[in-house]
Structure 1
C-alpha cells in the first residue's frame, strides 16, 4: 500500500501530459464521482475558467472528447461527464430518458456549486443539451449541439441509420437479457429507438443562444438540422463540409475554434421572422 502511495504522484504527473497521452475517460488524476438523483455519475475535470459541460452520445463516454478537452481546458473549467448508464456511471433502473439525463446534468452542476455552464453535446448529448436548456434554462449560458435530432424516425434520421435501428429492435425485442451489461446496452439502445419527442414549436422556449451543427454527410437528415436551427430564437448554424456524424473528431481543430468563438461572441441577434 505504501509503495502504491509513493508511486501515485509520478503516475498522476504522467497522466497530466509529461510524456504520455492523457487517458481521457479513465483518468485517476481528473476523475470524480457524484451521487446525483440516486445515480452514481462519473465525471472528469480539466482546466480553469468558466465552466463547460461536455455530454457524449449514445453508447459513448467522456473519452469521446479527447480531441476537444485539451483545447477547451486552456480557458474553461471542463466537466466531461459519463451520462447515466454509460461508461463509469452506474444506473440500476429499468428506464432511461433524455429528461432524466438533462435533470442529472442540472443536479450535477448544482452539486459542483456551479450556477450555470456552457454546454457542448454530441449526438444524444446534443439532444440532452437542448432539453437541459428547456427544463433548466438558468443552468445553460450557451449551448452547442452537433448531430442532434428531435424525434426517432425516418424524417429525422438518414435511411441507413433508421433501417439499422429497425433491425436492431427486431432482433432484441423478444430477448430476455440476464447479463447486466447486455441488459444495460439494450436500455441504452431503446433510448434512441423510443426517444426523443420534442416538437419543433417547443424550441421557441429556448432563449439560450444555441450553435446547431451537423456534418454534410451526417446520419441526421440535413433538413432536420436546419429545422432545429430555424425554430430556435437565437442560433447559429454550421453544416460542416466533408464530415459525417463525428464533426468534433473529424474536424477537431476547426470545430474547437468555431465553438469557442460562438461561446465568446459578444452578442447573438434574434433571427428575423
Structure 2
C-alpha cells in the first residue's frame, strides 16, 4: 500500500479534499472525472506495476466541489460550474505552495485540466487530457445520458464507485450529473429549433473551452481511445487543431478509460511527454 497524505482546505464554500502521493520534485495535479476520486480513477498511476515513480513525482489528486469528500454543499451545476472547479484546483495548488506543475485530467477532469492552461498559463507546465469533450451536438451527449441507471453499469465499474459512495449516494450524485448533461442537450435542441437553417450546430460545454484553446502556452497531450463509446474522436481533433503545441495519441483498441486499461502504455507515453516538455519554456 502506497503511503498518502490527505487533507482539505476551504475554498469557495467547499471543503476541497485531496490525496497526496509521493515525494518527488515534479508536482502533478490529477483531476478525476465526474464523481471521481484518486481511488476510483487513478490508482493504476499511483500503485502497482505501471505506477509512476513517486520519488520523481508528487501527485496531488483533487476531489472536485460536490464530489468525493468535497461536500456538502452540493455541486453548483450551471453555467459557471467548471469555472468553480478550475478556481478550486488552482487555489488548492497555491495553498500547497506549488507555483508550477503538470496537470493530468480524465473525462470531466480533462475539461478542468485544459481550462487550467487557459486560466493560468504561467503556472501549468504541461497538460495531459484523456477523453476530452468540449462541445455538444444534437446527438453526441446522448451516450452519456444513457448511463444514468447505475444498475446497467458493468459490475467492475459500479463496484469501484460503490466502495466510495454506497448505492444510494452513487445513484443520486450520478442523477445530478446526468441532469446537467440533459440540460446541455436541451440547449442544443432549443437552438436547432430556432435555427432550422443550420445543419452543424455545436454548443460549447464551456465558452472558453471552445474559443480560447489557442491561448494555451504549454504543451498539451490529448489521449483518446478509438472505441470510446461516450466521446467521439472529432472532439480531440478539434482541440488539436486549435492548440498550438498539441499532440494526439490514439489507442485503436482503447475505450473511455484508456489510462486504466492501457496503464503501461499510458505511463510510458506520459513520461516521454513530460520529459520533452521540460525544455519547452
TM score, norm. by length of structure 1: 0.76
Task: Please give the residue correspondences for 1:115-126 in structure 2 after superposition, counting only pairs within 5 Å.
Answer: 115-126=99-110
Partner of 2:206: 197
Partner of 1:39: 14
Partner of 2:146: 164
Partner of 2:98: 114
**Contact 2:27/2:59 (CA < 8 Å) preserved in 1?**
yes
The counterpart of 1:144, out of the listed 128, 150, 174, is 128
Task: Please give the residue correspondences for 1:164-243 in structure 2 after superposition, counting only pairs within 5 Å.
Answer: 164=146, 184-193=173-182, 194=184, 196-198=205-207, 200-218=210-228, 219-243=230-254
Where does the alignment leave 5 or more consecutive residues of structure 1 unmatched? 1-14, 17-21, 23-28, 169-178
Moved more, 195-204 or 235-244: 195-204
**Contact 1:56/1:122 (CA < 8 Å) preserved in 2?**
yes
SS across alignment from 1:137: coil
Q: State the superposition RMSD in angstroms.
A: 2.5
**Contact 1:122/1:147 (CA < 8 Å) preserved in 2?**
yes
Partner of 2:60: 79
**Contact 1:53/1:80 (CA < 8 Å) preserved in 2?**
yes
Moved more, 98-107 or 70-79: 70-79
SS across alignment from 2:231: coil
Please state if 1:260 is matched with 2:268. no
Aligned length, in residue pairs = 231
In 1, the alpha carbon distance for the partners of 2:270 and 2:68 equals 25
In 2, the alpha carbon distance for the partners of 1:92 and 1:79 equals 22
The counterpart of 2:36, out of the listed 16, 40, 60, is 60
Of structures 1 and 2, the one with the larger relative CO (CA 8 A, separation 6+) is: 2
Where does the alignment leave 5 or more consecutive residues of structure 2 unmatched? 150-167, 185-203
Greater radius of gyration (CA): 1
Evaluate the alpha carbon distance shift between residue 214 and residue 154 of structure 1 in structure 2; reply closer, same or farther with a 3 A threshold: farther
Evaluate the alpha carbon distance shift between residue 74 and residue 156 of structure 1 in structure 2; reply closer, same or farther with a 3 A threshold: farther
**Contact 1:143/1:209 (CA < 8 Å) preserved in 2?**
yes
Deviation (angstroms), 1:138? 2.2
In 2, the alpha carbon distance for the partners of 1:91 and 1:137 equals 30
In 2, the alpha carbon distance for the partners of 1:131 and 1:75 equals 26
